[in-house]
Amino acid sequence: MKRIVLFASGNGSNFEAILQAVANKELNVEVAGLICDHEGAYCLTRAKNHAVPSAIFLKKNFSTKAEMDTAIADQCDAWEADWLVLAGYMRLVSTPILSRYPHRIVNIHPSLLPKYRGKDAIGQAIAAGEKTMGVTIHYVDEGMDTGEIIAQFPFDVQENEERSEIETKLHALEHIAYPKVLKQLLEETL
Ligand code: GAR
C-alpha–C-alpha distance, residues 117 and 123, integer Å: 11
Q: Assign domain 2-186 to its CATH architecture.
A: 3-Layer(aba) Sandwich (3.40)
Phi/psi zone of residue 25: left (φ > 0), alpha (ψ -120 to 50 degrees), beta?
Answer: left
Ligand 1 centre from 68 Cα, in Å? 21
Distance CA 163, CA 185 (A): 31
Q: For ligand 1, is residue 11 a contact (CB within 6 Å)?
A: yes
Model pLDDT, residue 180: 97
pTM: 0.97
**Which sequence spans correspond to the domains of the chain?**
2-186
Give dist(CA 56, CA 158) in Å, integer. Answer: 40
Are the CB atoms for 44 and 58 separated by under 8 Å? no
| C-alpha 15 – ligand 1 centre gap (Å) | 10
Is 175 annotated as catalytic? no
Q: Do the beta carbons of residue 33 and residue 62 sit within 8 Å?
A: no
From ligand 1's centre to the CA of 177, what distance in Å? 13
Ligand 1 atom nearest residue 135's Cα: 4
**Cα-flanking dihedrals φ and ψ of residue 19, to 5°?**
-60, -40
CA dist 177 → 10, 94, 159 (Å): 20, 26, 25
pLDDT digits (tens, 9 = 90+) for 97-111: 999 999 999 999 999
Q: How far apart are CA 89 and CA 10, in angstroms?
A: 8
Is residue 5 scored above 70 in pLDDT? yes
What is the per-residue pLDDT across 43-100, written as a single tens digit (0 to 9) for each? 999 999 999 999 999 999 999 999 999 999 999 999 999 999 999 999 999 999 999 9
- Would the CB of 88 count as within 6 Å of ligand 1? yes
Question: Would you give the distance in Å from CA 128 to the centre of its chain?
Answer: 24
Nearest CA to ligand 1 atom 1: 88
